[in-house]
Structure 1
Amino acid sequence: MPTFDPRSFIITSAVAGILCSMIFFVLRRSFPREIGGIGEWGWGCVAMVGGAFLFAFRDTLSPLLTVVLANTLIVGGIVLMHVSLRRFTGLRAGYGWAAGLLLAVAAGLLWLTMVADNYRGRLEFITSINTLLFGLSAWFLFRMKKQGFAERFTGALFAVEALVSLGRFYFALAGQNSDDYWNDNSMVHMFYLASFSIALVGLSFGFMLMVTTRVQEKLEYAASHDDLSGAYTRATFFRMMAGEVLRARRQRRPLSLLLIDIDDFKRINDGHGHPVGDAVIRTFATVTAGELRAHDLLCRYGGEEFALLLPDTALDEATAVAERIRARFSEGVFDGLPSFTASLGVQSAEQGALEVAQMIEGADRALYIAKKLGKNRVEIAPEVGHASGRDGMAPNRPLAQ
């Protein structure tokens, strides 16, 4: 019966780790910097590759390198993967506790190798540490507020590897293995070594899915949101508004639209400069969004003008929302910004009775009236279809197409 050669699993782990680390270093250079943890994961793979190579030369190099340093590198690779997960979610990396843990691992291995020379003791020590680290990473992923397939998949792999390490710890503790590494041919030991090769590739694949999903979300957000204000873009807003109009008509629910214009915005730009004007736009969008429900839709309609769609909102409620927004800027003082006000036009449709163009037309007329009557006010749209607004004033701005 052929004997088990641990080198085959070691070499497999090393090759897989090299490929994974190369992929993550490439991703770190090409993906947005705000996506953290990519580099740490790559270095984690490098650490595990270094440990695997040192294991392969156990019969020729000093135990100080092939046992103490090799195992410390393996543990360091797992620690870096956990650090990577923390950075990916925006938390502090925690390099301090990571360095302290590695020092403790190295000290324990020094004692169990250079002083006691206890293979079984080393195995129990390392597998217990690995169990805790893999389990901690699984627990971290399963507790994430926003979980998708990638997070659940990666968390499950961490959990499986924690169970494998726990099983290896149990059998080592029970004494069901050889006291010599190279003669340890038990099925448990074979499965334990093989799992590291599979886990390194599987975990890296899972984290890669997490990263690419995050990049896709950022690209979708950038395509649908205005980069200055963070509100929806005009094209996205019209597409979503069309869906809300159909839903309101189908469910016979009210729907309201507000068009909002920051008063005298040109004066702000000319008198204080465009950077201040940009800050006013950002502040307006942020403060307004804070006054809204989760399903309300805020759009930067163009320049200093915004559109706000209020699903399931009748005219009286929409007017109250508009007045609250107007008062917020009329009475508010924002650090570093000149005072400014806003004018708002309101158009409501009972039971989804109006089309998108009709709602835009009505809100546009109401906003025109509010500007003509002195600004810093809320006006309700006159009856849709009339050619003139209040006091015979007709809108002279082009309507949205």
Structure 2
Amino acid sequence: METLDPRTIMLMTTLMCGAMTIVMFSVYRSFRREVDGLGHWAAGLLLLVCASLLFGTHGMLPDVVSLLGANASLLLGIGLSMLGTEKFYGQKPSLRFYALACCLGTAGLAWWLLVRVDFSVRVAIFSLTVFLFYARQAQLVWSHGERHFSSLFFGGLMLLQAVVVVTRGVSALLQGGVSLVDMLAAGTRASLYLAAANFMALLLTVAFMTVATRRLQTILERRSTHDPLTQVLNRRGFGDAYAREKAKLRRYRRPLTLLSIDLDYFKLINDRHGHAVGDQVLSHVAFVISGALRESDCVARFGGEEFVVLMPDMAPHHALSAAERIRTLLCAPNGQGLPPCTVSIGVACQASEHEELEQLLSRADTALYQAKEKGRDRIEFDIVGLTGACAPSASMVS
């Protein structure tokens, strides 16, 4: 049966790795702030291309250049992918381990290539080194990866690759047959092994791109629903949250209350202290409001210094207590050197299941304007159209 020449397989691998390198670098340049580790993977792929080119010069250039250079490039490239995976999962890169493994691995390969020539030992040294890199990445996915198909696919491939390379290393030591483990040798078995090894290298890159794309999708989805400065919901995200809670309102007939919160004299803070400090104040306010709420409550920034809070299954008198807690916390010293600030709050309760968000917001804003007109730093409740259990007593209103 005719088999592919190893050099042909190397050429095909070089072309495919080169294409993937371009793709990875393009993604890195576009999303390096959003997804860590892309640069390391891109550089690792580039080193794999260099290794493939060097392997292709075997027999034309000295072994110290073709074989030792190619294997050293492979070690460096696979190690860089490990560092990239560590960064991707928010772990400190193992730079010392990477440097030590690459130096010792390359030194061992050089010794058994140039001083005491033994192909089997070289295979074992190389296999053990890259096994450590692959096993580390599999462990990272197991410990820090989300339970999603993309992570399971990536981690499974890493584990499979780790098993394959360590099996190859053990086979080289135990059997000592060059033909069984020499990927550059002619023959069907060697060609199949070489093709599978190169295919796995490309498949691992695709798998990492899959988990990176999943991460990027999550980030972009969050950006579409969250305010980038304060990290609370934006109008779109708040609208989605309101739609979900309104559906529950129709089903369970539970009260739904909304707070409209506006910082008092925020323009003076920007004028006196600058917009950078103003942004810090807004972030602090969002943090305080979020900390004063239940997990089921939703807080959003509607632009400028205006915040809105949705409180499902919250009776009006409890909502007023929560609003007073927010007002009091924001009046207290913040301990961060930020200028003090107060807020005015308007409170409105969903009148019926037929009322839309814009109507509820309008009534809460009306109550907010009343708080502003009455001196600011206070809470007002909108009681238009509310009777019975939905209407608070006058003593509850600040």
Distance in 2, matches of 1:82 and 1:18, equals: 19
The offset of 1:145, in angstroms, is: 4.8
Q: Write out per-residue CA displacement over residues 122-143 of structure 1, whole angstroms, 9 at most, x where no aligned residue.
A: 1122122222221211221222
Distance in 1, matches of 2:382 and 2:175, equals: 84
Higher mean Cα deviation, 71-80 or 214-223? 214-223
Distance in 2, matches of 1:202 and 1:267, equals: 57
Distance in 2, matches of 1:11 and 1:294, equals: 56
Q: What is the SS of the residue equivalent to 2:175? A: coil
Aligned length: 387
Query: In the alignment, does 2:134 pair up with 1:123?
Result: no
Root-mean-square deviation over aligned CA pairs: 2.8
Distance in 2, matches of 1:148 and 1:237, equals: 27
CA contact 1:244–1:311 (8 Å) conserved in 2: yes
- Could you tell me which residue of structure 2 aligns to residue 340 of structure 1? 341
- Could you tell me which residue of structure 1 aligns to residue 86 of structure 2? 86
Query: In the alignment, does 2:137 pair up with 1:137?
Result: yes
Query: In the alignment, does 2:107 pair up with 1:114?
Result: no
The offset of 1:119, in angstroms, is: 0.7
Query: In the alignment, does 2:290 pair up with 1:305?
Result: no
The offset of 1:104, in angstroms, is: 0.8
CA contact 1:254–1:351 (8 Å) conserved in 2: no
Q: What is the SS of the residue equivalent to 2:259? A: strand
CA contact 1:248–1:255 (8 Å) conserved in 2: yes
CA contact 1:168–1:192 (8 Å) conserved in 2: no
- 1:191 to 1:155, Cα distance in 2 relative to 1, 3 A: farther
Map residues 161-200 of structure 1 onto 2, 5 A cutoff.
Answer: 161-175=161-175, 177-178=177-178, 181=182, 183=185, 185=187, 187=189, 189-200=190-201
Flag structure 2 segments of 5+ consecutive residues without an equivalent. 393-398
Map residues 12-27 of structure 1 onto 2, 5 A cutoff.
Answer: 12-27=12-27
Q: Write out per-residue CA displacement over residues 194-215 of structure 1, whole angstroms, 9 at most, x where no aligned residue.
A: 2221122212212222333333
- Could you tell me which residue of structure 1 aligns to residue 396 of structure 2? none
Distance in 2, matches of 1:219 and 1:34, equals: 9
Letter in 2 for 1:261: D
The offset of 1:351, in angstroms, is: 8.9
Distance in 2, matches of 1:211 and 1:254, equals: 41
Query: In the alignment, does 2:64 pair up with 1:64?
Result: yes
Distance in 1, matches of 2:293 and 2:122, equals: 59
Distance in 2, matches of 1:129 and 1:247, equals: 56
Distance in 1, matches of 2:275 and 2:130, equals: 55
Map residues 5-16 of structure 1 onto 2, 5 A cutoff.
Answer: 5-16=5-16
- Could you tell me which residue of structure 2 aligns to residue 324 of structure 1? 325
Query: In the alignment, does 2:54 pair up with 1:54?
Result: yes
The offset of 1:77, in angstroms, is: 1.1
Q: Write out per-residue CA displacement over residues 211-232 of structure 1, whole angstroms, 9 at most, x where no aligned residue.
A: 3333333333333223333322
Distance in 2, matches of 1:25 and 1:98, equals: 22
Q: What is the SS of the residue equivalent to 2:331? A: helix
Distance in 2, matches of 1:96 and 1:132, equals: 14
Distance in 2, matches of 1:108 and 1:294, equals: 57
- Could you tell me which residue of structure 1 aligns to residue 395 of structure 2? none
Query: In the alignment, does 2:252 pair up with 1:247?
Result: no
CA contact 2:258–2:360 (8 Å) conserved in 1: yes
- Could you tell me which residue of structure 2 aligns to residue 396 of structure 1? none
Distance in 2, matches of 1:40 and 1:174, equals: 35
Query: In the alignment, does 2:285 pair up with 1:287?
Result: no
Letter in 1 for 2:106: A
CA contact 2:34–2:216 (8 Å) conserved in 1: no
Q: Write out per-residue CA displacement over residues 98-149 of structure 1, whole angstroms, 9 at most, x where no aligned residue.
A: 1221111111111211122111111122122222221211221222253533
CA contact 1:245–1:355 (8 Å) conserved in 2: no
Distance in 1, matches of 2:321 and 2:146, equals: 34
Q: What is the SS of the residue equivalent to 2:257? A: strand
Higher mean Cα deviation, 327-336 or 348-357? 348-357
CA contact 2:263–2:342 (8 Å) conserved in 1: yes
- 1:316 to 1:193, Cα distance in 2 relative to 1, 3 A: farther
Distance in 2, matches of 1:195 and 1:161, equals: 11
- 1:365 to 1:279, Cα distance in 2 relative to 1, 3 A: same
- Could you tell me which residue of structure 2 aligns to residue 95 of structure 1? 95
CA contact 2:40–2:81 (8 Å) conserved in 1: yes
Q: What is the SS of the residue equivalent to 2:172? A: helix
The offset of 1:355, in angstroms, is: 4.3
- 1:47 to 1:102, Cα distance in 2 relative to 1, 3 A: same
**TM-score normalized by structure 1?**
0.86
- Could you tell me which residue of structure 2 aligns to residue 395 of structure 1? none
- Could you tell me which residue of structure 2 aligns to residue 394 of structure 1? none
Letter in 1 for 2:126: I
- Could you tell me which residue of structure 2 aligns to residue 399 of structure 1? none
Q: Write out per-residue CA displacement over residues 26-52 of structure 1, whole angstroms, 9 at most, x where no aligned residue.
A: 222233534222221111111112222
The offset of 1:83, in angstroms, is: 1.1
Distance in 2, matches of 1:201 and 1:295, equals: 44
Distance in 1, matches of 2:172 and 2:186, equals: 11
Distance in 1, matches of 2:195 and 2:293, equals: 54
Flag structure 1 segments of 5+ consecutive residues without an equivalent. 391-401
CA contact 2:101–2:129 (8 Å) conserved in 1: no
Distance in 1, matches of 2:349 and 2:38, equals: 48
